[in-house]
């Protein structure tokens, strides 16, 4: 019985996360975007936007 509750919670969490992702309609990150974010994280700052 407890396992069904946990499965239900996991399912609801997945549905909510998918709906949030779909509502934002984010485009996939390009290699340049990933490189920029990683470099900013290593430098301890935020990525610069032109």
For the stretch 7-40, pLDDT in tens is 999 999 999 998 888 877 767 778 888 888 888 8
Model-level pTM?
0.47
* pLDDT at residue 47, rounded to an integer: 59
Q: Please check the confidence at residue 46 and state whether its pLDDT lies above 70.
A: no
Grouping H, G, I as helix, E, B as strand and the rest as coil, residue 29 is: coil
Domain extent at residue 8: 1-28
36 domain-assigned: no
40 domain-assigned: no
Helix, strand, coil percentages in the chain from 3-state DSSP, rounded to 5: 70, 0, 30
**What total number of domains does the chain contain?**
1
Calculate the alpha carbon distances from 12 to 8, 19, 33, 35 in Å. Answer: 6, 10, 31, 33
45 domain-assigned: no
How far apart CA 39 and CA 33 sit, in angstroms, is: 10
* pLDDT at residue 16, rounded to an integer: 93
């Amino acid at each position: 019985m407890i396992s069904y509750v946990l499965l239900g919670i996991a399912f609801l969490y997945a549905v909510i996360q998918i709906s949030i992702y779909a509502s934002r309609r984010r485009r996939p990150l390009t290699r340049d975007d990933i490189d920029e974010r990683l470099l900013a994280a290593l430098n301890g700052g935020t990525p610069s936007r032109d």
